[in-house]
Structure 1
Amino acid sequence: MVIATSNNSISFRGYQGVYRCYASNNGGTAVSNAINLKTESTPKWPKASVQQFKKEEGESLVLQCNPPTSIASSMIIWMTSTLANIKLSERVSQGLDGNLYFSNLLEDDSLEDYSCYAQLPGTRTIIQKEPISLKVTTSNSVRFRKPRLLHPRGQGSSRLALRGRPLNLECIAEGLPTPSVHWERLDGNLPAGRVSYQNFNKTLTVHDVAEEDDGEYRCVVLNRQGRVTHTYSVTVEAAPYWVRKPQNGRYLPGENVLLDCDMDAKPKAHIVWSVNGVLLNETDPDRRRTVTGSRMVLTAVKPEDTAVYQCEAENTHGKLLANFYMQVIELPAQIFTTSGKEYQFVEKQTVYMQCENFGAPTPKIAWSKEEMVSIYDTMFLYTCPLCHPTLHIET
């Protein structure tokens, strides 16, 4: 059921799909961006027995969270069953994947109820995984060892970053003593002012990604026993974005009009044009209208061409929509200068007489002079029936 409300919004009950809002008046029809409505029941972890781990001091361990898939993003929090937070440090990390990583274990890590909680802000719901039991025993031969990456695996991997969004790169390693993490860029400097570090330097975030951030980034993980590295090859792409957003415009009959959706995208976007919300290929053909990619040319426009035009660009990363109003108007000529205005001047001076006017199409200009008699001298009265805005007289 779909219910319209008094504040121009809609309440949906049980309907999934893509929706658009259309707003119309005598000037045309504007269209909203597509709204993709999805619904699902609250996700649940499958029933499972309590996991139990028994490890020796100094070993590494990864506790898996694996939250159920959901169309809504979730925030992962590790706590005990009594809702006490698990303390994180250089040695104990929560990865971006939600897993809990121990670079090396201590006896104090023993706990009967490591619990992964997934918070779904959209539905204001928190779901809990079955607790995990961990018992860490004392070892008589704790072995020091050089770092080894737990996440990601291997010496290198590829990442896709989107223009304008944050990029998160992560390196989590095990080793004894606890390794430290450092970051560098192999083909340039890290973006000044747009870089931050989280999770005890294990996560590098590049904020507001730009095209020049394309390149190779490396984490260096080391302790007294050695070092290990991982290189991320980052490729930057972009959802459609405006280079210059189209503006509304007023035009005169007979003018040629260029409507330009000046945008960019990577990969290249597919562009469709509409008029008053109707796709051009579904309207009657018009020889005066030419569309070439992101540009539409209308020749010799007429008042009936007044409408709201839409261009919508789409690639694999997103959509971009613009509504712009094109008004073709005819207005009668008008003179705004006060009638009978007098100018007094001394002989040999330069005189400027104003005649403010307006009309569409632009009025044609003409000045006329009417002779009149003064008790002082012969004077002339210049009138502007529809004229150049300024008359320049050298006396």
Structure 2
Amino acid sequence: MANGDAGRYECFATNDNGTAVDKPVVLLEAWIHHFANAEPKIYQVELGDSFQMHCNPPNSSPKAKVFWILMGNQQGAFNPLSGMHLSQDDAGSLFFHYVNLSDAKNDTSYTCVAENEALRDYKFGNKFKLIVNENKRRTLAEARNIVPEMMYTGQSANIALLGSTHRIHCFYSGFPVPKPIWYFKDKTITDKNTEYKFDNYGRTLVFSVTQEKEGSYSCEIPDISKVYFTVRVEGAPFWTIAPPQNRNVTEGDTIEFNCSADGVPTPAVTFYKNGIPLPLHSNRHSIFSNLLSIHNASRGSNGTGDNAVYQCEAANTYGKIWSNFYLNFHTFAPEIVDWEDEVDAPESAPVELSCKFFAIPPANVIWNSTLLPRVNHSIRHDNHTGIVKLVIHSMTSDAFGEYQCTGWNRYGNSTAKMTLVRKGELSFSTRVFRVTWWIWLLLVLVVLVLLLVCCHILKSCRHRGDTYPVSQQERHRGRRPLIGKPVPILPPFPSNFNQMGSESPSLPSSAATGVDSKSNSSGVFSQTGHRQEQPQAHGYYNENGVYVDSNEIFDINSANLDSFLADFLLDRLLHRCGLHDVSTLDHATPTLQHTIRWM
């Protein structure tokens, strides 16, 4: 913060609609001076006597908070000051209700501290030490016969401000220290009363200030004295309800803004327009107490009209409150928002026709019909909802027909037509309109059910583990089928497959799980796997997501597959190729050997 920065600041925001002004802010420079340099003073006091010392803090902005500590000879060596026989008030005084031998400190001094809370800076001074003499009495017990005397009674402030913390002190000398009894309007204040607290071991009454706390307090030392205090409560202004609100109105209206504020003393209210104070009276407005009235409001530009940003200020000795609010103009011709084209009504029963308009200013509404002179009816206005009803008290044959609801203001008008028909004789379009909505709802529900069924089927297929073949070309394109339990895909059969044989006895299922030593010697069913000529075949993804290419020939034992599927496929293939059993496999073509071996 540089020199000259301190002062009063205000913020203005302006556009074509007016000027808003923020609450003024006062910027002050924070500072604190030092205590005068001095050696600790020494005071001699008799054992059991009372003693008090006042602190004279240095000048500070804002005002410094004052309290006492014990400070040693070395820098930074200090301890808080405490003891049942010690008390401190708000002005910076330290009270010894009686002096004990332990109050004489050789290596420390009683030191006053001034704290600038804005700067978080501390200054130390007014140091002193005590020498305790035993000329009058040798022990504290001998001080029990001394009659207690008043040392200090007073309040933390002459005026208790609303919302602040107020303290009342009642200090008496003596051993043991007398504890006062507190009263408010002659009613005892006890520890169970949560609205009050006690400090300095019951010798200070502390409470948060409200208007209800104003009145007479007293502290009593039984058989000694009783002291009375009068607490006056005052406070800065506050809104009693709420600050004035923004308004959207129409030209020609009379508008009122209530700046309802209170405080003690009663705040003075000032109204502003675009940051400029308004006089109490003019041909366009009047101000009475905290009420601003604008008559025959009209629109203007550059502040010439009543459309503007207004301010309300309520101020007294302890502060001020401030609020911005605007006045704007809206104009809308009436627009019908709630009516029915046709209304079916039973004869001899009462019927209500309703219509509602949106309009600024509010629309004037009338009902018209050539039938009205022959119908027993009434008009009902609901000012809360804006609905105007035509009530026909008893339907007769003369009441069926067309009615008109018309709304108008200075900016236009609008008319809605309604037809009263006998119950059951609604027009086709009206019946369709009334029925269609639940048909659409039913269709939506049906579509949702179908979507759920389809999702369930797809999920079931995925969980069942179906897989699909992937060609070599699709594999390179990055396509990936559903991953599940793999089912091997046979490579293409040779073109002369039908000439390999016509009939052959079926192979037992046990033949698929092993071969004799003769067939093993041929190397067809070896367990190591041999790479042979690779036909163009499809592949699949196994359950671990790994692609298995049928071009890589592996010896797969049928026990590794579903036993029924493996036995069935092997038996049908051998039968189709004209082979009686696996022992005749050596006579098959290489392609056929490869196919069976792949299985």
TM bracket (short chain): 0.7 to 0.9
- Determine the structure 2 residue equivalent to 1:363: 363
Counterpart among 247, 251, 254 of residue 252 in structure 2:
254
Amino acid aligned to 2:122: I
Distance 1:370 1:228 in 2: 94
Contact kept, 8 Å, 1:157 with 1:232, in 2: the verdict is no
| Residue 93 (structure 1) shift | 1.2
Q: 1:394 to 1:321 in 2, by over 3 A?
A: farther
SS in 1 for 2:102: helix
Matching of residue 43 in structure 1 with residue 33 in structure 2: yes
| Residue 106 (structure 1) shift | 0.5
| Residue 46 (structure 1) shift | 2.0
Deviations 1:248-280 (A, max 9, x none): 133332222222222233333332221121112
SS in 2 for 1:320: strand
Deviations 1:95-129 (A, max 9, x none): 22222211001011112312222332211212222
Contact kept, 8 Å, 1:353 with 1:392, in 2: the verdict is no
Amino acid aligned to 2:314: A
Matching of residue 295 in structure 1 with residue 291 in structure 2: yes
Contact kept, 8 Å, 1:164 with 1:209, in 2: the verdict is yes
Which protein has the bigger strand share? 1
- Determine the structure 2 residue equivalent to 1:61: 51
Contact kept, 8 Å, 2:67 with 2:114, in 1: the verdict is yes
* Structure of greater Rg: 2
Percent sequence identity over aligned pairs:
25
- Determine the structure 1 residue equivalent to 2:89: 95
| Residue 325 (structure 1) shift | 2.5
Higher relative contact order (CA 8 A, sep 6+): 1
Amino acid aligned to 1:83: F
Deviations 1:53-91 (A, max 9, x none): 2222111111322222323244434322222211232x1
Distance 1:101 1:364 in 2: 79
Q: 1:370 to 1:157 in 2, by over 3 A?
A: closer
* Residue correspondence of structure 1 range 1-395 to structure 2 within 5 A: 14-81=4-71, 82-89=77-84, 91-111=85-105, 112-141=108-137, 142-143=142-143, 144-152=145-153, 159-186=158-185, 193-210=194-211, 212-221=212-221, 226-248=223-245, 249-281=247-279, 286-303=282-299, 304-337=305-338, 341-367=341-367, 380-384=401-405, 386=407
Distance 1:123 1:392 in 2: 80
Normalising by the residue count of structure 1, what TM-score does the alignment of the two structures yield?
0.81
Which sits farther off after the overlay, 269-278 or 76-85? 76-85
| Residue 322 (structure 1) shift | 2.7
Which protein has the bigger helix share? 2
| Residue 41 (structure 1) shift | 2.8
Distance 1:92 1:391 in 2: 90
Amino acid aligned to 1:78: W
| Residue 174 (structure 1) shift | 1.5
Q: 1:37 to 1:53 in 2, by over 3 A?
A: same
Question: What is the RMSD computed on CA atoms of the aligned residues?
Answer: 3.5
Contact kept, 8 Å, 1:354 with 1:389, in 2: the verdict is no
Contact kept, 8 Å, 2:162 with 2:209, in 1: the verdict is yes
SS in 1 for 2:174: strand
Distance 1:389 1:185 in 2: 70
Contact kept, 8 Å, 1:66 with 1:99, in 2: the verdict is no
Contact kept, 8 Å, 2:46 with 2:136, in 1: the verdict is no
Distance 1:165 1:202 in 2: 20
Distance 1:264 1:388 in 2: 49
Distance 1:390 1:196 in 2: 73
Gaps of 5+ in 2: 72-76, 300-304, 372-398, 408-413, 423-599
Q: 1:324 to 1:183 in 2, by over 3 A?
A: same
Normalising by the residue count of structure 2, what TM-score does the alignment of the two structures yield?
0.55
SS in 1 for 2:60: coil
Q: 1:337 to 1:362 in 2, by over 3 A?
A: same
Which sits farther off after the overlay, 71-80 or 193-202? 71-80
Gaps of 5+ in 1: 2-11, 372-377
- Determine the structure 1 residue equivalent to 2:485: none
